[in-house]
Amino acid sequence: MEIIFDVIGNTLIVEFFGELDHHAAEKTRVKIDTAMDNYMTKNLVMDFSKVSFMDSSGIGMVLGRYRKMGENSCNMAIVGCSKTIRNILNMAGVFSIIDYYGTREEAIEGFDRKEVS
Amino acid sequence: MEKELKVQMEGILENQGLARAIAAAYVSQFDPTLDELTEVKTAVSEAFSNAALHGYGGEHTEDVKKTVTMEFATVSAGTIMIKVMDKGCGIEDISKAMEPLFTTDTDQNRSGMGFTVMESFTDRLKVDSKPGQGTTVTMIKKLDTYYGF
């Protein structure tokens, strides 16, 4: 599993590449937490469009980051999930607390709308 | 029982990718759909990581040989059985362990959804376990689109 970080305005984008399992999740978690502490953005987007495999470790990774963001009352969104990945995240009700968008651009637009309203 | 395959490997998280690659290779011979292939891979991945994380995860098991055995077999046309066995610490309360969101993790980095994922991606799931005697997870998966060519 590789991850690439990108900062657009007030949003930190985390793009995942490859397979996300329990083995990969531990290292990934540390990297994201470090990036979140460094960039201190208001919003976080997780982009799953290049993830070829994910098991339940992904749920823990997503919810753990959500809790961390929540400490500073920030926004979080998930984008680009395959059917199976959406299915797995849905089992734990992830999308009832975190917004889902097709693309990162839509997610950023969504954050902007929230700010206006 | 036909087309039996038995694989034994070290129960460490590093082998999780290999475990699901083996599962994918076995299922591939039955021409599964992409969804079915992903479901089997995910279920085996969960079972294997349970064995590595929980079965052999305790502090008391350091001198135990961490062996995970996976057995694959075809029970009838298009129906496969997968067993993932460890000789680790075992589970005290199986029904509690299988509850959605139940986790032993106190750092809140794990979700407690492993068994739930296995259950929803297979047709039947059975867990046999006794404290100190290891755990066997048996999964049955029907490949709905099996044409029998």
ipTM rounded to 2 decimals: 0.87
CATH 3.30.565.10 describes domain B2-142? yes
Residue B46 falls in the annotated catalytic set = yes
Per-residue pLDDT tens digits for B95-120: 999 999 898 877 777 889 999 999 99
Full-model pTM? 0.91
When pLDDT is cut at 50, 70 and 90, the band that residue B38 belongs to is very high
When pLDDT is cut at 50, 70 and 90, the band that residue B144 belongs to is confident
CB B40 within 8 A of CB B82: yes
A19: chain B residues, CB-CB within 8 Å: 17
Q: In what order do the strands lie in the sheet with A2-8?
A: A2-8, A11-20, A43-54, A75-79, A99-101
CB A59 within 8 A of CB A97: no
Nearest residue in A to B115, CA atom: A56
User: Which CATH number is A2-116 given?
Assistant: 3.30.750.24
Q: Closest approach of chain A CAs to the CA of B12, in angstroms?
A: 9
Nearest C-alpha neighbor of A9 from the set A109, A117, A102:
A109
CB crowding B58-77: b at 16 or more within 10 Å, else e: eeeeeebebbbbbbbbbeee
When pLDDT is cut at 50, 70 and 90, the band that residue B58 belongs to is low
Q: Is the pLDDT of residue A73 over 90?
A: no
Q: Does A64 touch chain B (CB under 8 A)?
A: yes
Cβ atoms < 10 Å from Cβ of B8: 11
Domain ranges of chain B: 2-142
Residue B50 falls in the annotated catalytic set = yes
When pLDDT is cut at 50, 70 and 90, the band that residue A116 belongs to is confident
Contact B13 A23 (CB under 8 A): yes
pLDDT at A16: 98
Within chain A, where are the H helices?
22-39, 57-70, 83-91, 104-116
Give the contacts of B36 (CB within 8 A, at least 6 positions apart): B27, B141, B143, B144, B145
> What is the C-alpha to C-alpha distance for residues B39 and B37, in angstroms, rounded to an integer?
5
Nearest residue in A to B48, CA atom: A22
Q: Does B38 touch chain A (CB under 8 A)?
A: yes
Backbone angles phi, psi at B30, to 5 degrees: -105, 15
When pLDDT is cut at 50, 70 and 90, the band that residue B64 belongs to is confident
Of A21, A25, A88, the CB nearest to B17: A21
Domain ranges of chain A: 2-116
